[in-house]
Amino acid sequence: MSIYSFSEHSPETLTAATFLHDLNELVNTGGDTPLLLPVSSYRDCGACLQRLIDNGFVKYLLGDIEPTEKARVLLSHAGHLELADIGKFISQIDEVDALAENRKPTKPVMREYESWIHPLILSLITDKKSFASKISGYTCPKCGNHGLTAFPATIACECCGFSIPRHFHGYDLTDKDIEQLVRYKYTSPIYGFIDRKGRKFCESLVIDNRFGVTFSAKAAKIYS
């Protein structure tokens, strides 16, 4: 039976949570009997596999299936995770999906999510096996005892996790901008940021009291 027979309609948008659900199901289908399957039938497993194919994570070629490059990149960064951790990630992602649907988002929850996801993203964009890097010569303004390392997408401290993005609201920070942030924790007014309507505007950047990079006007509201 062709695996394509399991797909009866166009694939739905695959969220991070549903992908992890599907991946978990496929990984755990190694038993000798259907009783060991986490899905109700082999048909469900086929539908699960079909969804991964439709969304570009698995390819079917000459009778064989294998992960695509898109899937290999994801798995290479998540290879250290135990399967038992998947449930934890699913619950966190589901919570954020709920917030995105206007189910009473709160600042504490969003702050907790930011704290959770920041190191995960930082670990991806500061992977020395994937990106070129060099020591910048700047000392970390947060911990004060470690040099900052320059990567294509960020300047980061490998000791405490502090980072400065090279691209912020449509604007590529210059070496001068980064130097001002590191040395003085604020920049001169910068023209070139882009708002949600696509219009350019001028603003200064600062390092706030949580050691995050933000606009000076926003930081002033936090401090007041």
Q: What is the pLDDT of residues 12-35, one digit of tens each?
A: 454 555 555 555 555 555 444 333
Phi, psi of 184 (to 5 degrees): -115, -10
Output the pLDDT for position 93: 53
Output the pLDDT for position 1: 34
pLDDT in tens, 65-78: 677 776 665 555 55
Please report where in the chains the tokens 């947060």 appear, as a residue.
142
Does residue 39 or residue 118 have the better pLDDT? 118
Q: Residue 83's CB: how many other CB atoms inside 10 A?
A: 10
Output the pLDDT for position 99: 53
User: Residue 98 corresponds to which tokens in the numbers above?
Assistant: 């709920």
Sheet containing 163-165, strands listed edge to edge, beginning at the edge strand earlier in sequence: 134-139, 147-150, 154-157, 163-165
Output the pLDDT for position 173: 92
The size of the chain, in residues, is 224
Domain range summary for the chain, segments of one domain joined by + = 3-88
Output the pLDDT for position 7: 39
The amino acid occupying position 82 is: E
Output the pLDDT for position 102: 53
Output the pLDDT for position 19: 56
Give the integer Cα–Cα distance in Å for 68 and 197: 35
Per cent of the chain over pLDDT 90 is 13
pLDDT in tens, 170-209: 899 999 999 999 999 999 999 999 888 888 999 999 998 8
Output the pLDDT for position 222: 47
**Mean pLDDT score across all residues of the chain:** 69
Is 80 exceeded by the pLDDT of residue 50?
no
pLDDT in tens, 141-152: 898 888 899 888
User: Residue 140 corresponds to which tokens in the numbers above?
Assistant: 């970390």
Fold of 3-88: Arc Repressor Mutant, subunit A (1.10.10)
Of 18-22, 77-81, 163-167, highest mean pLDDT:
163-167
**How would DSSP label each residue in the chain?**
--GGGG--SPPPP--HHHHHHHHHHHHT---SSGGG-SSSSHHHHHHHHHHHHHTTSEEEETTEEEE-HHHHHHHHHHTT--GGGHHHHHHHHHHHHHHHTTS---HHHHHHHHHHHHHHHHHHHT-TTTS--EEEEEEPTTTSSSEEEE-SSEEEETTT--EEESEETTEE--HHHHHHHHHHSB---EEEEE-TTS-EEEE-EEE-TTS-EEEHHHHHHHH-
Output the pLDDT for position 4: 36
